Structure 1
């Protein structure tokens, strides 16, 4: 494939009101092509209402088994899953805790509960991925979900340069054997620090995004990011609020749209991959 095809995906739809505001604005403006929804989160009802009002939006299921913030929590939809809850009924904070303690059958059952809830509420998901990589240690279950619901998986065929050791070549081979579509590459903005370890600025975020676009390889690439408005709500949830605001602003910057056009990049959606998989 010689074309440069790009999916621009905003993660964490439903996480909080500030995130919903940012993602819905970018979708309304056509600055991005898709989003991933977190069904167990407190503001998912607002996100679902927005999707139902805009059924053309491209929405994947961001399967969630972790609740990472100190003072803002959520837990499993299936309240019978004891290995996925702490003493307060919330998900563990870290992926490592999930991998060490969670029963794989319970991981799968909760993932199914989240997908089924989305379907009941009128969402037609276009893909599957997992928040913070909470199911990456059980790739066979991820592929089973994709096969059951006939959905592509956000997992790159090629290893990410920053995380080559974590790439599962066997998962890629099994997905291809099962007819499950994957993107060639997955990229993300440097969410926590620059390559030099310095605190991110808007200018650094923009420069990194421009570099990602200019270095985009032929094939299908997903670029994921975490936009939010920098409201008091978000500031109370996470100390990454400045970076999330940068990631909202940068996709509204005219230079980014110009770069996409100048580099000959064609924007696509996960829905197109899902429909190809279902043929």
Structure 2
């Protein structure tokens, strides 16, 4: 059996500690891919470090929410910004605005295009995939823009998030994920057959990672992604600014453990990037 496992670390460039943690999890662990945040305050300082990790796949972590400012001005993307001129702080605020018809997809396209230009032009990155901060491309107006931009920019793969959570939230994510998968396939783009990381965000301890690998193996999927959030643990200022409660140092320890590498091999996975997805 030769199944593909992509272990993708999000938020590259958000802080230097996160970037260093991702690179350490790649060089000394099992992380094979990362998603780079174009609006990240440390992007320019950390993007050049990726040149020393040529085997690490790099994608775009497109953002419409958060404390960091958009690439474009509020005058250029008025429906995406609040009165203070920045993005809404979290996904619930964005979706409330979108559900009320207050988000113009043309603004999304302009801002995402500017983020892609920053990553590919200014930073010189070659992108293997697209995804979004807090998985906003599950929402149909956002997913349609992401799919269109993937085709325009020659990026052949998109993350397909899912959830195993019970209740309305989990059911809604699965319904939106199925719609995204159909849209991606109809556009001739690629995604993995199975995914984990949304429900476990920031809490992928070693026992949970071992269980997740076993569950994904049991699914029979030929291509899978585990989405993680490692980082070095001495970034106190960043922890205060980004109060998500993620245990980044704990995830880094798990992702660099020999036990996890052995478990991945035991289940017959080969690790790789979105560029390794079969056509």
With normalisation by structure 1, the TM-score equals 0.84
Runs of 4+ residues over 4 Å off in structure 1:
239-242
Paired residues for 1:1-279 under 5 Å: 3-67=2-66, 73-79=67-73, 80-99=76-95, 100=97, 101-120=102-121, 121-137=123-139, 138=141, 139-151=143-155, 152-156=157-161, 159-162=162-165, 163-167=170-174, 168=176, 169-188=178-197, 190-191=200-201, 205-216=205-216, 217-218=219-220, 219-231=222-234, 232-240=236-244, 243-273=247-277
Question: C-alpha separation between the residues in 2 aligned to 1:239 and 1:9?
Answer: 21
SS at match of 1:261: helix
SS at match of 1:212: helix
Q: Aligned in 2, Cα 1:257/1:75: closer, same or farther, shift over 3 Å? A: same
Question: C-alpha separation between the residues in 2 aligned to 1:23 and 1:146?
Answer: 24
Question: C-alpha separation between the residues in 2 aligned to 1:131 and 1:238?
Answer: 13
- Unmatched tracts of structure 2, length 5 or more: none
With normalisation by structure 2, the TM-score equals 0.84
RMSD over aligned Cα atoms: 2.1
Q: Which moved more, 1:102-111 or 1:35-44?
A: 102-111
Aligned-pair CA distance for 1:253: 1.2
Question: C-alpha separation between the residues in 2 aligned to 1:26 and 1:207?
Answer: 17
- What count of residue pairs does the alignment treat as equivalent? 257
Q: Aligned in 2, Cα 1:56/1:242: closer, same or farther, shift over 3 Å? A: closer
1:195: which partner in 2?
Answer: none
SS at match of 1:62: strand
Question: C-alpha separation between the residues in 2 aligned to 1:96 and 1:234?
Answer: 22
